[in-house]
Amino acid sequence: MEQYFDFFVRSYQVIFVRYLIAASLFFLIFYVIFGKRWTYKKIQAKFPQNRDYIREVSYSAFTVVIFALFAVVIFRSPLTPYSQIYRDFSAMPIWYYVLCFPIMFILHDTYFYWMHRMLHHPKIFKYAHLVHHKSTNPSPWAAYSFHPIEAVFETAIIVIFAFALPLHISAFGFFFLFQIFYNVYGHCGYEIYPKNFHKHWFGKWINTSVHHNLHHKHFDNSYGLYFTFWDRIMGTMAPQYDESFEDVKGRKKELA
Ligand SMILES: [Zn+2]
Ligand SMILES: [Zn+2]
């Protein structure tokens, strides 16, 4: 029992510290150091209040409990022998190691889009997803601000990865390290992709901070995570997306 608990505590520390590093980095840059100078660039002009930050960090701290429990299930439980995660680098060819990344992005994006649409079902929304949507003007701290029910659905993707796909432990680690940074970027309230990215042949398929910000503002469209593929084919792109992206990237300091 003690070994499970030790692993749970270690997992909690790793996941929570990763969240703190990613969120505080964005918060320091965009809200503290350049907060005043860059206000004109902010997607929604207002800044959240201290009580919003406190709510977002508190829910995120609890979400990490759920994430750490799932880590125990995958790495230290009777189910662990069935996991496909491998540690010997030579067990699979190098091309497979590289190919795993696009596969993980596509799988996670598809899983997230449909799971997210389910969370918006009127019978489920207020029990599971309202907590995340209390941040109508999200900050970097909102990255893990979920109700525990949502946290279970959010983290279930790691079960799919671990049991359905042979993955090197480092690929698993790199992917989720990237995921927290991208997640924080999506909630940071600023757009860091360049002007016209939303119209670029590649950029139009990539989910941006403006895109996810519109989801937090309007609730009923722009559900995607990494890509806009599902939103485009399902007709759930925010109708204001192009206009908002152009507005945010076209603002000039003196006019603000
Ligand atoms: Zn969000
Ligand atoms: Zn939502």
Name residues of the chain where pLDDT drops below 70.
254-256
Considering every ligand atom shown, identify the ligand nearest to the alpha carbon of residue 225 and give its number. Answer: 1
Give CA 92 to chain center in angstroms.
Answer: 29
* Partners of 227 in beta bridges: 206
How many percent of the chain have pLDDT more than 90?
96
In this prediction, residue 3 carries a pLDDT of 84
Considering every ligand atom shown, identify the ligand nearest to the alpha carbon of residue 223 and give its number. Answer: 2
Cβ distance 19 to 181 under 8 Å?
Answer: no
Q: Which amino acid is at 145?
A: S
Give CA 87 to chain center in angstroms.
Answer: 26
How much distance in Å is there from the Cα of 208 to the middle of ligand 1?
12
Sequence-distant (≥ 6) Cβ neighbours of residue 201 within 8 angstroms: none
Compute the distance between CA of residue 111 and CA of residue 124 in angstroms, rounded to an integer: 17
Considering every ligand atom shown, identify the ligand nearest to the alpha carbon of residue 128 and give its number. Answer: 2
The chain-wide mean pLDDT, for the chain, equals 96
CA distances from 190 to 35, 47, 89, 106, 186 (A): 11, 11, 39, 25, 8
